[in-house]
Amino acid sequence: MRLLTWNVNGLRSLTQYYPWCEHKNFKTILDTLNADIICFQETKITLERLDTSMAIIPGYDTYFSFAKGKASYSGVAIYVKINSIKPISAEEGISGLLNQSSTIFNQSDQSTTSNQSINNSNITNITSNTSNEYHNNLNFSTEELLNLDSEGRCIILDFKMFVLFNLYCPHTASQERLFFKIQFYKVLLNRVNDLIQAGREIIIMGDMNVTHKEIDHCDPEKFVKEFGLKSFGEHPLRKMFDKLVSPNGPLIDVCRYFHPDEKGIFTCWSTLINARPANYGTRIDYILVSPGLMKWFKSCNIEQSIMGSDHCPVVAELYDTINENGHIYTLKEETNVDGSSTPRLCAKYLPKFMGSQKTLKTFFTRSDEKNDAKLKLILSEQPENNQMENNNIENIELSNQMENEDLVNESLTPSNNDNNDLSVSKELSNTKNISKQTTTSQKSIASNSTKSNVRKTKKKTELEKNQRSLVSFFKQQIPDKISNNDYSIKEKSVSIEEHNQLYQLNQLEELPSDSSDKSQNEESTQQKNIEEIKEIKDNLVENCKEIPTTSFNNNNSETISQWNALFAPRLIPKCKVHNEPCKEYKVNKPGPNQGRRFYLCSRPIGNTKEDQCDFFEWVKGTNKNTSTLKRKNVDKDKEINSRQNKKQ
């Protein structure tokens, strides 16, 4: 049997990286990992975004724990191969209080919750029977314990032979998170000690977010200096971890058990500085086991070649059979739980996958399954029905023609009663109306289809005529053809006021003059006005300035060189040690240099000479933030003036 733990840094994003992007579905990814129990950390998935492609996988039972109220944050998952092993019971959370979710959160329907209490198990006896002692020993309130379990960091499965913990311990990004992490470790230690006292064997797998020894860190001296410690083991989290792992704790680090002095077996690397190629990382992912199970373990290795995350998997193998004091024990017999049902925490029992949870789609579809089946059959037989309808229309028309001919023949035959003649004439008229209706309906359908097609083609042609293509924006615009090549193009720029004056004067010139109705005085005034108009026109024309003609020269070397200089790539310097092109970085830390860019050696960070050197150079043109510097100078001047005033 194989056990695997891996911090995937996003379960959905795993399929975007090579080689996992080449897999058709999530089942093939699990099959290539080739493990019977697969523990994922930092899944960054919520219940709303979880779909069947990741939750309902053939051959596997899945168990999820989600962060409450936080999207794309934390979360753990366990995939168990059904044919290999099966859990008796399952539990979410490190404290055990989430099993009492119906009483804590006052929820009436327990089927809607993802948590299920563990029945017929020693785990329940510890958390339920001694719950008061459990909380009193920790001195934690129920709110604090529920807060620890609100980030989806723990799933516990009982496999009869052992109890499995899948953990994603908190990261210490601040002092508040450091306190939160210490609390989490205290509850974990208390839970492990209670299980061991009850006679249970334990396996802890996951991202513990702690380096145990100096050999597990790429640069322990730098770590000690940054935190201001006297030694590597003085950190409070490392002290807590020492209480969990041997020689001071009850559990054994399986990887160090098989590789006690091996260096460089790291499981996590910083992606910001590209530290993985130089193996400049830390070992924070573990498989911890109680001493009674070590006889079953065959090996434990770190799979650094598996990509897709900033972490790599840790894999442990177990023997199928062992011989102890002449008696042979098999792993299947020790973990055999035939007859027991799958725990309710399994993802297949979630309401959204059982069909009990209503979605928006259900409000717009029929509830009866028979009606749904009929609709599917009707939709699948639509093309055949259309052909049958066309054939039926043709048969109706032929039958109508035949009936008309028969009726005509009957009308020609002698009849004794006049009533028969009337009935025949009525039938003829009815049949004619039916045939007309069928033909007109067909014609209307055909005409409507042709009209719609014509409208579509017209719209397309209009759009094609009016719409400009992308190529037109990059082509050189050809000027309009000039009829007189001897004369240059001259454009006169006239202001708006002058244009209005000319327009008014032209209107005055075009006014009709009736000499018969007007007196001689009026004629003289009109002539004066016309002379004034001509003088104004001449003045305007003389004052207009000519715009010089623009030359359409395609080969303008000056403009081309200027544009090339603007978009030319920046010259990247080379580091002095390796003589290789440097890599550009940007300052994101708040301060006077925020936003500035600089060059560093392109090689990954490490402790050897072949790794990154000390080359540093600011990118030219990225000046400091002058506003912040001015403020600092002003503040300094104020402080100096205030001090001088106080002294005086």
Count the neighbouring beta carbons within 10 Å of the beta carbon of residue 149: 22
Does residue 310 have a known ligand-binding role? yes
182: which 2 tokens?
Answer: 């210490």
Give the long-range contacts of residues 140-144, CB within 8 A, separation 24 or more: 140/183, 140/187, 142/97, 142/104, 144/183
Between CA 489 and CA 495, with CA 491 as vertex, the angle to 5 degrees is 180
Which amino acid, residue 280?
Answer: Y
Q: What backbone torsions phi and psi does residue 375 show, to the nearest 5 degrees?
A: -60, -40
DSSP sequence for 508-537: HHTS---TTTS-HHHHHHHHHHHHHHHHHH
Tell whether residue 394 is among the known ligand binding residues.
no
Alpha-carbon distances, residue 624 vs 145, 566, 586, 620 (angstroms): 48, 22, 12, 11
* Separation between Cα atoms, residue 310 and residue 8, nearest integer Å: 8
Q: Is 235 annotated as a binding residue?
A: no
Assess contact for 223 and 232: CB atoms under 8 A.
Answer: yes
* 8 Å CB contact between 41 and 78: no
Residue with tokens 């000027």: 479
- How far is Cα 505 from Cα 388, in angstroms, rounded to an integer? 79
Q: Is 7 a known ligand-binding residue?
A: yes
36 annotated ligand-binding residue:
no
How many Å apart are CA 189 and CA 182, to the nearest integer?
11
Q: Are 218 and 281 in contact (CB under 8 A)?
A: yes
Q: How many CA atoms lie within 13 A of 1 on its CB side?
A: 22
CA 74: distance to chain centroid? 15
Q: Is 42 annotated as a binding residue?
A: yes
Which residues are known catalytic residues? Answer: 168, 207, 311
CA distance 55 to 61: 8
Please choose, from the candidates 46, 51, 49, the residue with its C-alpha nearest in 3D space to the C-alpha of residue 68.
46
Please name the residues in contact with 266: beta carbons below 8 A apart, sequence gap of 6 or more. 216, 218, 279, 281, 282, 283, 302, 304
How many residues belong to the chain? 648
Instruction: Reply yes or no: is the peptide bond before residue 247 cis, omega within 30 of 0.
Output: yes
Which residue in 150, 168, 144, 135 sits closest to 98, CA to CA? 150
Pairing between β-strand 597-600 and β-strand 545-547 as defined by DSSP bridges: unpaired
Annotated binding site for Mg(2+): 7, 42, 207, 209, 310-311
Annotated binding site: 7, 42, 207, 209, 310-311
